[in-house]
């Protein structure tokens, strides 16, 4: 079985600044990978290149054997790449159900239909409710995104990402800004994600992140500097250097 | 030969006027991200105000100063009373400036009537100047010179003064500028007044060429848009050069193929936006 | 509730010629035509989130092509209608491709530029368009032998096309495609990540808007039997924009109500107040400052509040 993600010699610059430097990375199917690194290390930029929002200058990106380096951004969801965002970009004036249903519509041929009404009892909405139930938000299904709490919005982000049955899920700081209790809820949700979805996560909350990850990659100024299992990375001198400055 | 020379000078003069008009628009858009669709109307109002001052017996210098002042104040009022309330709503701002353009244009119609008001070339510039065996109307040369002087003055303002530094910082990155303590609120008003004032100045200086007539605003605004698109936002040099490019295209176009004047004018703009959105020199995408 | 209200309104609209004078029936026709035009623009502005300042070009192209084919070539109405609608929609496809190279201000300026080019051509290319004199002598069609010179019949003709257009537009905006248009308006980056082809969705919306704009243009030139370049001016596009914004962008009834209000203002106010343009501008500024979502949502909100008080 081919690797979930294979990145070879990826490079990206903005103006004079190199945000991704000769980066090579391999993630196995079903793996739980954690990407850490100080601010500015290029973690989100890496995600954006995998999801296609940013086009790399050189190098290659393959997902389950398919080369997607030049593939347009809107086709990546169709090969199974799904991501959540650091800054919540849900649809604030729509209900939770609508948000999740919209996500499912994205990869369905149904989205080009102009004749029939998208009805509330459509299959799409039924499935959306199930997903919201899985993240514990079924009772809020008919509220608008703008009416629910930040923590609940983060959970909707995960529901949306999962609604597309991704084979590769990119979680960008899923715990950012959450209270202690909320973190536990979201952590459990992430842990419950089935193995058929490979997960790559960017996180700063070390307690949660380290317990979740099988392999950790450390990024610094756009380069991969340390990679290995938890103990290896935590004890590696370069990791300390990058985080503590010495 | 004489005809070509005259046309060239006309183009240069028009370019100069366009620079006065467009530099204000570019500054406002660059700093505040507002597409000020009122700009053509401000130019026209400047022409009308100046015409009234001159009709009262004063010279061009007084008229120019009055126009600049009055239009700058109008600009300030627009910014403070209306645009300020629409921060964060760019579509609203564009629509509001569109509405204001209609209001100002109709106001001019009410006050000054529907007939064009002739504006006389100031006596001291009425002569013709001869060199290279050709004669040129002096006033057009004067406009060219004045625009260049203003261009240099703007350049010095932006590059050498504190105000200019603040403006440049704001154009580059407003969030960051605010973060380092640049007073965005006052800066916006100052720049809007400056931009409006320049438009008003352009209006009266252009008076002897265009006169003041209803519809001057609708004629000038698209030209300003084209200049800014071609030259790019965020570059004074770009605006300067583009003003003259457009001046040439328009003047020669109207003279040679009047039927297709609008096409040759807008086509470069369409091509530039479609294929090089930062404009020929600019740094900011429209 | 909604269905009964709609039926009542439709019944009311059908009934107007039975008790109104010719002036009002003609005004009614104009209002319906304006409503179709505003609704077409609304697809782009309200649902797509793409502000266009050049929509009048579709009205104008369709009208001029029809006028030219009827007066210069003597073609029949059915043929000219098909040609005008097709040709204008094709222009919409091309303009859409050009305009969508940019977003925001760039898009606005491109739509403005494209419409200005044709406005200029309409004035200058006198051999084709008669320039400032306009083209007159356009006859109205006689579908199934019905004489549309009669203002009653013409009104019902326009009403039928209006109802059909609104019905189609309503199906579109409530369909999965319609939902995705709104999505691209609200969070276009997210939509791309979710697998939607945002450019294509926008382009199709643009083409649909140009098509319905062309329909309005056809009816417009039949009504006036005359066409003049001002129809493609910035003022014309701005009026349509005002109808959409004032009525309520992104709603089905908003632009219709907006069009009705603007037409009433235009017809009555211009009798008492000469300053139509100033009023237009003032209304723009007022709506933008105080009722940014438009009158329909504002009124709906007030009605909702009143309802809540009674419950």
Q: Which of B181, B148, B179 is nearest to B162 (CA)?
A: B181
Residue ranges making up the domain that contains A201: 5-244
Q: Which of A102, B87, A112, B190 is nearest to C186 (CA)?
A: A102
d(Cα C230, Cα C277) in Å, to the nearest integer? Answer: 14
Q: What is the tally of helices (H) and strands (E) in chain C?
A: 15, 2
Question: Is the CB of B95 less than 8 angstroms away from the CB of C110?
Answer: no
d(Cα B169, Cα A101) in Å, to the nearest integer? Answer: 43
- pLDDT at position C1: 65
SS3 A168: strand
Least confident of A77-86, A210-219, B224-233, C184-193: B224-233
Question: Residue B281: is its pLDDT beyond 80?
Answer: no
Share of chain C above pLDDT 70, in %: 98
- pLDDT at position B159: 87
Give the best-scoring range by mean pLDDT among A37-41, C159-163, C238-242. C159-163
**Does residue B117 belong to any structural domain of this protein?**
no
With beta carbons less than 8 A apart as the criterion, state whether C100 and C188 touch.
no
Q: What is the pLDDT of residues B57-85, one digit of tens each?
A: 888 889 999 999 999 999 999 999 999 99
More confident residue, B120 or A22: A22
Which of C49, C186, C193 is most worth mutating to test chain A (most A CB atoms within 10 A of its CB)? C193
With beta carbons less than 8 A apart as the criterion, state whether C285 and C245 touch.
no
| Residues of chain B found within 8 Å of residue C119, distances taken between Cβ atoms | 262
- pLDDT averaged over every residue in chain C: 90
Confidence tier at B129 by pLDDT (50, 70, 90): confident
Question: Is the CB of C124 less than 8 angstroms away from the CB of B259?
Answer: yes
**Does residue B128 belong to any structural domain of this protein?**
no
CATH of the domain at A162: 3.40.50.300
Q: What is the pLDDT of residues C196-227, one digit of tens each?
A: 999 999 999 999 999 999 999 999 999 999 99
CATH of the domain at B141: 1.10.3470
**Does residue B53 belong to any structural domain of this protein?**
yes
Q: Shortest Cα distance from C201 to chain A (angstroms)?
A: 9
Tokens of A21: 């430097």
Q: What is the pLDDT of residues C7-43, one digit of tens each?
A: 888 998 898 888 888 888 999 999 999 999 999 999 9
Confidence tier at C273 by pLDDT (50, 70, 90): low
Q: Contact partners of B by the rule of 3+ C-beta pairs under 8 A?
A: C
Question: Is the CB of A112 less than 8 angstroms away from the CB of C177?
Answer: yes
Say which of A93, A111, A164 has its CB closest to residue C180.
Answer: A111
Segment holding A7, helix H or strand E:
strand A5-14
- pLDDT at position A113: 82
- pLDDT at position B275: 75
Question: Residue B283: is its pLDDT beyond 60?
Answer: no
Confidence tier at C75 by pLDDT (50, 70, 90): confident
Q: What is the pLDDT of residues C99-150, one digit of tens each?
A: 998 887 778 888 988 888 898 889 888 888 888 889 988 889 888 888 888 8
- pLDDT averaged over every residue in chain B: 86
d(Cα A19, Cα A12) in Å, to the nearest integer? Answer: 6
- ipTM score: 0.89
Query: Each residue's pLDDT tens digit in chain A (246 positions)?
Result: 788 999 999 999 987 888 999 999 999 999 999 999 888 888 999 999 999 999 999 999 999 999 999 899 999 999 999 999 988 889 998 999 999 999 999 988 888 887 777 776 678 888 899 999 989 899 988 899 999 999 999 999 999 999 999 999 999 999 888 888 888 888 889 999 999 999 999 988 777 788 888 899 999 988 999 999 888 888 888 888 887 665
Tokens of C52: 């266009």
- pLDDT at position B222: 84
Q: Which of B95, B100, B72, B107 is nearest to B214 (CA)?
A: B107
Q: What is the DSSP string of B139-193?
A: HHHHHHHHHHHHHHHHHHHHHHSHHHHHHHHHHH-HHHHHHTT--HHHHHHHHHH
Q: Shortest Cα distance from A236 to chain C (angstroms)?
A: 36
With beta carbons less than 8 A apart as the criterion, state whether B267 and B275 touch.
no
Confidence tier at B286 by pLDDT (50, 70, 90): very low
**Does residue B179 belong to any structural domain of this protein?**
yes
**Does residue B125 belong to any structural domain of this protein?**
no
Domain tally, chain A: 1
Q: What is the mean pLDDT of residues B29-55?
A: 91
With beta carbons less than 8 A apart as the criterion, state whether A50 and A81 touch.
yes
Confidence tier at B113 by pLDDT (50, 70, 90): confident
This prediction's pTM = 0.89
Question: Is the CB of C195 less than 8 angstroms away from the CB of A115?
Answer: no
d(Cα B124, Cα B206) in Å, to the nearest integer? Answer: 16
- pLDDT at position B14: 92
More confident residue, A115 or B115: B115
Tokens of B110: 């009410």
Tokens of B62: 């007084």
Confidence tier at C235 by pLDDT (50, 70, 90): confident
**Does residue B221 belong to any structural domain of this protein?**
yes
d(Cα B201, Cα B71) in Å, to the nearest integer? Answer: 8
Confidence tier at C274 by pLDDT (50, 70, 90): low
Least confident of A107-121, A189-203, B106-120, B202-216: A107-121
d(Cα A90, Cα A84) in Å, to the nearest integer? Answer: 10
Confidence tier at C5 by pLDDT (50, 70, 90): confident
Residue ranges making up the domain that contains B66: 2-112+135-275
d(Cα C3, Cα C194) in Å, to the nearest integer? Answer: 34
Do strands A66-67 and A58-63 pair parallel, antiparallel, or not at all (unpaired)? Answer: antiparallel
Question: Is the CB of A110 less than 8 angstroms away from the CB of C176?
Answer: yes
Q: Shortest Cα distance from C234 to chain B (angstroms)?
A: 8
Q: What is the pLDDT of residues C45-64, one digit of tens each?
A: 999 999 999 999 999 999 99
d(Cα A182, Cα A188) in Å, to the nearest integer? Answer: 10
Question: Is the CB of A106 less than 8 angstroms away from the CB of C195?
Answer: yes
Domain tally, chain B: 1
| Residues of chain B found within 8 Å of residue C110, distances taken between Cβ atoms | 270, 273-274
Question: Is the CB of C193 less than 8 angstroms away from the CB of A73?
Answer: yes
Say which of C187, C190, C195 has its CB closest to residue A78.
Answer: C195
Say which of A52, A118, A164 has its CB closest to residue C179.
Answer: A118
Which of C168, C170, C195, C297 is most worth mutating to test chain A (most A CB atoms within 10 A of its CB)? C195
């Amino acid at each position: 079985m081919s690797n979930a993600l294979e990145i070879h010699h990826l490079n990206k610059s903005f103006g004079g600044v190199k945000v991704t430097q000769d980066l090579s990375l391999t993630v196995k199917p079903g793996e739980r990978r954690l990407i850490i690194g100080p601010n500015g290390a290029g973690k989100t930029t890496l995600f954006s290149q995998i999801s296609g929002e940013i086009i790399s200058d050189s190098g290659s990106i393959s997902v389950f054997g398919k080369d997607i380096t030049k593939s347009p951004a809107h086709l990546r969801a169709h090969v199974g790449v799904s991501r959540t965002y650091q800054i919540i970009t849900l649809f604030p004036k729509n209900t939770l159900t609508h948000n999740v249903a919209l996500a499912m519509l994205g990869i369905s041929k149904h989205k080009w239909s102009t004749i029939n009404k998208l009805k509330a009892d459509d299959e799409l909405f039924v499935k959306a409710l199930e997903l919201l139930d899985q993240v514990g938000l079924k009772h809020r299904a008919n509220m608008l995104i703008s009416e629910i709490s930040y923590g609940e919005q983060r959970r909707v982000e995960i529901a949306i990402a999962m609604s597309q049955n991704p084979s590769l899920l990119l979680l960008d700081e899923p715990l950012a800004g959450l209270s202690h209790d909320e973190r536990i809820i979201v952590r459990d949700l992430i842990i419950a994600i089935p193995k058929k979805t490979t997960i790559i996560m960017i996180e700063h909350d070390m307690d949660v992140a380290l317990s979740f990850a099988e392999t950790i990659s450390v990024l610094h100024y756009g380069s991969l500097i340390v990679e290995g299992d938890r103990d290896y990375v935590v004890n590696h001198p370069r990791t300390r250097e990058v985080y503590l400055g010495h | 030969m004489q005809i070509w020379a005259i046309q060239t000078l006309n183009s240069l003069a028009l370019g100069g006027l366009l620079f006065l008009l467009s530099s204000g628009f570019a500054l406002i858009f660059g700093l505040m991200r507002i597409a000020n669709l009122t700009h053509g109307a401000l130019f026209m109002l400047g022409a009308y105000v100046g015409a009234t001052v001159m009709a009262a017996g004063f010279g061009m210098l007084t008229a120019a100063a009055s126009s600049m002042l009055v239009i700058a104040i109008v600009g300030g009022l627009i910014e403070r009373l209306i645009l300020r309330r629409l921060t964060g709503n760019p579509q609203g701002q564009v629509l509001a400036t569109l509405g204001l353009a209609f209001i100002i244009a109709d106001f001019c119609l009410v006050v000054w009537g529907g007939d064009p008001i002739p504006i006389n070339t100031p006596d001291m510039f009425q002569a013709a100047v001869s060199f290279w065996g050709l004669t040129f109307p002096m006033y057009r040369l004067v406009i060219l010179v004045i625009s260049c002087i203003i261009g240099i003055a703007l350049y010095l303002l932006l590059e050498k003064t504190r105000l200019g530094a603040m403006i440049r910082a704001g154009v580059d990155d407003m969030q960051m500028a605010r973060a380092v303590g640049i007073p965005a609120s006052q800066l916006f008003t100052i720049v809007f007044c400056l931009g409006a004032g320049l438009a008003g100045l352009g209006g009266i200086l252009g008076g002897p060429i265009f006169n003041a007539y209803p519809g001057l605003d609708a004629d000038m605004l698209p030209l300003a848009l084209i200049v800014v698109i071609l030259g790019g936002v965020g570059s004074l040099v770009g605006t300067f050069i583009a003003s003259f490019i457009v001046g040439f295209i328009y003047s020669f176009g109207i003279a040679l193929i009047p039927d297709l004047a609008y096409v040759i004018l807008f086509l470069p703009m369409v091509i530039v936006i479609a294929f090089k959105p930062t404009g020929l020199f600019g740094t900011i995408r429209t | 509730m909604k269905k009964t209200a709609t039926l009542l309104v439709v019944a009311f609209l059908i009934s107007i010629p039975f008790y109104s004078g010719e002036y009002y029936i003609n005004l009614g026709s104009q209002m319906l035509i304006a409503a179709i035009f505003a609704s077409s623009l609304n697809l782009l502005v309200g649902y797509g989130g793409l502000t266009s300042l050049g929509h009048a070009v579709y009205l104008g192209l369709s009208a001029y092509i029809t006028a030219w084919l009827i007066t210069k070539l003597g073609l029949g109405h059915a043929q000219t209608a098909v040609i005008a609608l097709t040709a204008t929609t094709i222009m919409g496809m091309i303009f859409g491709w050009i305009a969508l190279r940019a977003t925001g201000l760039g898009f606005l300026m491109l739509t403005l530029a494209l419409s200005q080019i044709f406005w200029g051509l309409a004035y200058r290319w006198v051999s084709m368009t008669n320039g400032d004199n306009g083209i007159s002598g356009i006859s109205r069609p006689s579908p199934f032998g019905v004489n549309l010179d009669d203002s009653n019949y013409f009104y019902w003709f326009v009403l039928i096309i209006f109802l059909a257009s609104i019905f189609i537009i309503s199906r579109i905006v409530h369909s999965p495609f319609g939902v995705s248009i709104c999505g691209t308006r609200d969070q276009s980056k997210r939509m791309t990540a979710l697998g939607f082809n945002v450019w294509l969705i926008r382009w199709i919306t643009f083409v649909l808007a140009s098509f319905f704009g062309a329909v309005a243009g056809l009816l417009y030139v039949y009504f006036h039997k005359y066409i003049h370049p001002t129809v493609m001016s910035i003022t014309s596009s701005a009026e349509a924009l005002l109808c959409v914004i004032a009525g309520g962008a992104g709603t089905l009834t908003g632009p219709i109500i907006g069009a009705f209000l603007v037409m009433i203002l235009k017809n009555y106010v211009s009798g008492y107040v000469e300053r139509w343009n100033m009023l237009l501008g003032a209304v723009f500024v007022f709506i933008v400052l105080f009722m940014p979502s438009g009158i329909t949502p504002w009124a709906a909100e007030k009605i909702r509040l009143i309802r809540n008080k009674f419950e």
